[in-house]
Amino acid sequence: MSTETGKRAATAAASSVRSNDEMERSEKNGRRAGAHRVLVCFTGSVASVKAYEVVDGFLDGTNRSLDDTIVGVPLPFDVRVIVTDVAKRFVDVEELRRRIKTRYAAFRAAAGSAAYAERFPDGHPPDEPFVYTDDTEWREWRKVGDPVTHIELRKWADALVVAPLSANTLAKMANGLCDTLLTCVWRAWDFADASKSVFVAPAMNTAMWNSPFTAKHLAELAAFPNVHVIDPVEKTLACGDVGVGAMASPETIARAVVENRFSKTGARGFS
């Protein structure tokens, strides 16, 4: 990412966040007006090859795998994405960015500017990158008062979705480490606000899944009342082994978030 692109990314993240007064004026039924805002994160698990499908799950409200009585319109969510450095091995950042921008442009063309503004009252600045990476974080920070990307994204998001959650990132999150953009957002997350949900979908080899470290680290995450664990499934894994550890389907992940965000109460676990 170029220096200029990094600067635009930090600025765009800041421009997506409104003041408390603005948010209070736009609140309806106990939440901000417009689409629910989801920050989707991809980590260094081979399951990140499903990045396009995971993101599509939040941009395609007509997906028949979801309950159309809850969400029956395109783009029920406003989406931003974090791709960690290791996840770049499995995700083409520029292609993902292009696909997301194309979906928003198609919705604006079909629904019209008024409907678009109602769905996304914060607006999408022309330089909004939609996809953020670790090198976005501090590249253009120069002085006190400049936007800090992980803080701006933390303020922006209603929900944080980590799918897949690798064993390495799980260990970092369980211990409060913050050496990536994603883990900095996690460390700064407002756990006191029950409406700020976090969803994690672990994905790793069966031997790693069965490690006592994994159970210990997941217990640390699940101790927070607004953290939801989406269990992995059994199948043939990338290494050829057969066992539990594959990421839940993109449809299951989307359903977990939909049911939490569009119902009065959300379940603690999903499978």
pLDDT in the model for residue 45: 97
Nearest residue to 61 (alpha-carbon basis) of 198, 197, 269, 262: 262
d(CA 199, CA 158): 11
Nearest residue to 185 (alpha-carbon basis) of 249, 136, 218: 136
Whole-angstrom CA distances from 233 to 142, 236, 246 are 45, 10, 5
d(CA 44, CA 133): 13
For residue 65, pLDDT beyond 50? no
For residue 71, how many other CB atoms are within 10 A of its CB? Answer: 22
pLDDT in the model for residue 212: 98
Sheet holding 227-230, edge to edge: 131-133, 77-83, 36-42, 159-165, 197-202, 227-230, 269-270
d(CA 207, CA 167): 11
pLDDT tier, 182 (very low <50, low <70, confident <90, very high otherwise): very high
For residue 110, pLDDT beyond 60? yes
Residue positions annotated with a catalytic role? 150, 239
Question: Which residue would you say has higher pLDDT here, 2 or 198?
Answer: 198
Mean pLDDT of the 102-125 span: 88
pLDDT in the model for residue 32: 58
Task: Tell me which range, 58-67, 76-85, 105-114, 234-243, is most confidently predicted by mean pLDDT.
Answer: 76-85
pLDDT in the model for residue 22: 38
What's the residue count for the chain?
271
